[in-house]
């Protein structure tokens, strides 16, 4: 008898075969890890001397911490810029003005299609033709991150608006709001709230992509780590430490996304309980209610 939708439960022979394959796969993986370990050990990358630079204050003060600050600076600036870019172009893509909608669509699709590194190199090369400036690497890194991630944010917000019930838009238009006012005051706040976990998860992408600034000589964490590894000849330990820092930062952002999602779910459940409760206000309001904007409630009220 089938225990699943797409496959039957494995029998005794299949379970034994799966167990054997699992053991063989684990042995192959362990063998590969052992080969990597031996190769690194032969190169002297795993000796205690390779880790001693991390006990020196100069390694952190001159390389890792400035690189971390550069990463956070670029990521923070790009996050703000991508949020503004995404909201503006999401509204433009949903505008009733056809030329504006078409231009915004072209820009968003180009922003999503062109690789971040290619945009970074293009902006850096263009800035270099206008003269050397110490801020050129930072500007190139941030602009590329804003364009790509802003385009993604715009599509996420547009998708959130498209998923809203039609009654939300109709309720705004029925009380005399224009399409732009309805979008800005009613639909957009609801879409951003609904897609907030996805938007926060996009911050992880922004943070990781700051490492591409290495290619335009921006002083982010990977670039500084490379300089430190050159002076200490401990490239593998340095990469390992930098990877741990990136993992810690991305894990923190991921946990924030989970907390925000839970809070939004709890708030939605509380709002639903209030609407369907048995309190004095129950049964008073009927009709279509638009609850996207704070303090805005569209619909017909009938007293019983």
Whole-number percent of the chain with pLDDT over 90:
46
- Say whether 301 sits in a helix, a strand or coil: strand
Please, which residues bridge with residue 301 across strands? Answer: 285
Residue 42 and residue 199: Cα distance in Å, rounded? 45
Among 41, 80, 62, 43, smallest CA distance to 202 is for: 80
Query: In this structure, are residues 304 and 284 in contact, taking their beta carbons and an 8 Å threshold?
Result: yes
The structure tokens listed for 169 are 């838009």
Burial (CB count <10 Å: 0-12, 13-18, 19+), residue 31: exposed
Lowest mean pLDDT: which of 7-11, 161-165, 222-226, 281-285?
281-285
Query: In this structure, are residues 101 and 94 in contact, taking their beta carbons and an 8 Å threshold?
Result: yes
DSSP string covering 63-121, please?
A: IIHHHHHHHHHHHHHHHHHHHHHHHHHHHHHT-S-HHHHHHHHHHHHHHHHS-HHHHHH
- Other Cβ atoms less than 10 A from the Cβ of 53: the count is 21
Domains and CATH numbers, the chain: 77-219 (1.10.3720.10)
Q: Which residues of 105-129 are buried (b: 16+ CB within 10 A; e: fewer)?
A: eebbeebeeeebbebbbebbeebee
Lowest mean pLDDT: which of 94-98, 193-197, 282-286?
282-286
Which pLDDT score is estimated for 188? 82
Lowest mean pLDDT: which of 82-91, 195-204, 220-229?
195-204
pTM: predicted TM-score of the whole model, two decimal places: 0.75
């Amino acid at each position: 008898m089938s225990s699943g939708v797409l496959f039957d439960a494995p029998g005794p022979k299949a379970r034994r075969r799966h167990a054997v394959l699992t053991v063989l796969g684990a042995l192959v993986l362990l063998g590969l890890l052992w080969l990597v370990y031996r190769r690194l050990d032969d190169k002297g990358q795993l000796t205690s001397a390779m880790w001693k630079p991390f006990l020196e204050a100069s390694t952190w003060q001159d390389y890792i911490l400035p690189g971390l600050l550069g990463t956070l600076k670029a990521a923070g600036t790009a996050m703000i810029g991508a949020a503004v870019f995404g909201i503006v172009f999401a509204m433009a893509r949903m505008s009733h003005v056809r030329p504006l909608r078409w231009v915004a669509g072209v820009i968003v699709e180009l922003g999503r299609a062109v690789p971040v590194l290619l945009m970074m190199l293009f902006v850096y090369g263009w800035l270099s033709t206008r003269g050397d400036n110490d801020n050129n690497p930072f500007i190139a890194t941030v602009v590329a991150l804003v364009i790509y991630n802003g385009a993604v944010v715009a599509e996420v917000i547009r998708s959130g608006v498209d998923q809203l019930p039609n009654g939300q838009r109709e309720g705004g238009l029925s009380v005399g709001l224009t399409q732009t006012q309805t979008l800005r005051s009613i639909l957009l706040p609801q879409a951003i709230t609904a897609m907030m976990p996805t938007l926060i998860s996009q911050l992880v992408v922004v943070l990781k992509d700051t490492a591409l600034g290495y290619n335009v000589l921006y002083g982010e964490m990977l670039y500084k780590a490379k300089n430190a590894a050159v002076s200490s000849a401990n490239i593998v330990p340095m990469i390992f430490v930098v990877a741990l820092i990136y993992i810690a930062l991305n894990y923190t952002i991921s946990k924030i996304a989970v907390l925000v999602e839970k809070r939004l779910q709890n708030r939605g459940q509380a709002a639903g309980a209030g609407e369907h409760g048995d309190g004095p206000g129950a049964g008073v309001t009927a009709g279509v209610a638009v609850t996207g904007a704070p303090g805005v409630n569209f619909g017909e009220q009938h007293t019983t």
